[in-house]
A and B are shown apart, each in its own frame.
Chain A
Amino acid sequence: MGKVIVVTSGKGGVGKTTSSAALGAALARNGDRVAVVDFDVGLRNLDLVMGAERRVVYDLVNVIQGEAKLTQALIRDKRLETLFLLPASQTRDKDNLTAEGVAEVIGALRQAFDWVICDSPAGIERGATLAMRHADIAVVVTNPEVSSVRDSDRIIGLLDSKTLKAENGERMEKHLLLTRYDPLRAERGDMLKVDDVLEILSIPLLGIIPESMDVLRASNVGSPVTLADETSAPALAYFDAVRRLKGENLPVTIPGEKRGFFGKFFGRRAA
């Protein structure tokens, strides 16, 4: 039985799709079987970021409405043979996602894959609530900025009330992924500090992804940043995030923070 991860945020443009692709590729690089599902019906992007846009035939809505089989709609990545994409429909709208249909698709994917990553649309409407509904683990993507933090807080509330896990009285595992972190702006005090974000949201930190041109460059060439340049700062941060996701206790370092010899030993611990 695979694990279902929802990548969510409330606010748009914070890096959900980038993170879904990067985490998916990083997990698949170790040989795990990974399916990344685009829930953003009507505004699909994940196929572009993963460089599969020219091979989309069927999509999630086709599968839910019985017009295609799941195996027909899944697209295998050209670089990693254990990485698959289930694209969203660009022409239909979110009302075509039914609760039963989504449950069936996620159930089938859970059987066949080690990890199922659901890339949630922005907002708190139907698409977003269906994307989180069956998740075991939530990755809450947040920028160090007040409106993003408040929206993430709202989403955490929904994760604790509207998901199957919550309704069964279980606790949803939630992780914070702080993205687009700019060390220069942080130094000038233009951004929220990492500690402030953690204090407000009070969920464990999965990683800090620095703001970087590498992310933009990677999505322009249609490659997850963890495949485009494995030595770039954002890719390394995503690799660390995946190790923590798998249960490793790895200290989180804040990008750009100058650390002395001793600082390295007394590194920040992931909560």
Chain B
Amino acid sequence: MTAVLTESRPIRLKGRSFLALALAPELPFDDWLARLDDLAARSTGFFLQRPVVLDVNGLTIDRSQLSELVEKLGARKVRIMGIEGARPSLLGPDMPPAMLDGRPASDVSPSADGAPAVPAADSDAPAASPLPKAPSSIVVSQPVRSGQSIVFPDGDVTVIGSVASGAEVIAGGSIHIYGALRGRAMAGTTGNAEARIFCRKLEAELVAIDGYYRTAEDLGSDLHGQPAQFWLEGDTFKVGSFA
């Protein structure tokens, strides 16, 4: 049985990753800012128009020091889009948001003309990645409890157990749930329209593939409590049983 669920044009939510410069300030900040000014004087516009993340990992600073630093950087036209490695107590509504799960990329060094030279971007051949290839699937062998979130942008997620109401599984590839899906499942979030979602028992709050989503209300009651799978055909969100 296959039901077409697309009626109106759905809103698309997509994941994107961008290369940001991560600035790691050192204490005392005044010395470090002086060195930064020196760098900026030698290569004008280094930070202009670039997403910059502040990496404060390992620094013992308080909230006022951090907000003062962000302010001083702002005065130098360095706009901080996020802060990595800060305790939640250091951040507030007036501060840039916390950034998590950053993965290292090649170092960026300023060139004479001021534009950061991004390695590999200017070569024709695809550059060999310095990182080992990540595994393309993970297996979660416990139930995913309410409030928990499994995020795996690199591939498939298999859950042996149920995904509770208020829990979410987010995968770059497909999602397989050997149990009841009562929470949210979002597959193909990195732009993979081929991804699918499978579950033993469908009681989901929300399912999404490549940004197309359906809530429990849109899903209707035909397959409620039944084994089900979801996939995309073009712009059409499909659901079917596989019993």
Contacts and interface: CB of A to CB of B under 8 A. Distances in A.
A154 B146 contact: yes
A202 B146 CA distance: 13
A156 B142 CA distance: 12
A161 B142 CA distance: 12
A200 interface: yes
A32 to B, nearest CB: 32
A158 B164 CA distance: 14
Given A150-B164, A202-B161, A156 B182 contact: no
Interface string A135-163: 00000000000000011011011101100
A151 B167 CA distance: 12
A200 B143 CA distance: 9
A21 to B, nearest CB: 28
Chain A: interface secondary structure? Answer: helix
A230 B163 CA distance: 41
Pick the most buried of A153, A157, A161: most chain B CB atoms within 10 A of its CB. Answer: A153
Given A156-B145, A157-B146, A150 B162 contact: no
Nearest to B143: A202
Interface residues of A, number: 13
B164 A153 contact: yes
Chain B: interface secondary structure? Answer: loop
Given A160-B142, A200-B182, A154 B162 contact: no
Category for how many chain B residues contact A: 10 to 19
Contacts of B180: 199-200
Interface string A195-227: 000011010000000000000000000000000
Contact of B165 (A150, A156, A202): A150
B164 A200 contact: yes
A160 to B, nearest CB: 7
A153 B146 contact: yes
Contact of A157 (B148, B161, B162, B165): B148
Nearest to B145: A157
Contacts of B148: 157, 161
A30 B146 CA distance: 37
Contacts, number: 35
Interface string A114-125: 000000000010
A92 B240 CA distance: 57
A150 B166 contact: yes
A222 B166 CA distance: 38
B147 interface: yes
A154 B145 CA distance: 6
Nearest to B201: A199
B146 to A, nearest CB: 4
Contacts of B142: 160
A160 B164 contact: no
Contacts of A160: 142, 145
Nearest to B182: A200
A158 B167 CA distance: 13
A124 B148 CA distance: 13
Contacts of B182: 200
Contacts of A150: 146, 164-166
A154 B143 contact: no
Contacts of A158: 147
Contacts of B145: 153-154, 156-157, 160
B122 to A, nearest CB: 44
22 contacts: A124-B147, A150-B164, A150-B166, A153-B145, A153-B146, A153-B147, A153-B165, A153-B167, A154-B146, A154-B147, A154-B166, A157-B145, A157-B146, A157-B167, A158-B147, A160-B142, A160-B145, A161-B148, A199-B180, A200-B162, A200-B182, A202-B143
Given A153-B164, A153-B165, A157-B148, 10 more contacts: A124-B147, A150-B164, A151-B146, A153-B146, A156-B145, A157-B145, A200-B162, A200-B164, A202-B161, A202-B162
Across the A-B interface, the 8 shortest Cβ-Cβ residue pairs = A157-B145, A153-B146, A154-B146, A154-B147, A153-B164, A157-B148, A153-B145, A150-B146
Interface of A: 124, 150-151, 153-154, 156-158, 160-161, 199-200, 202
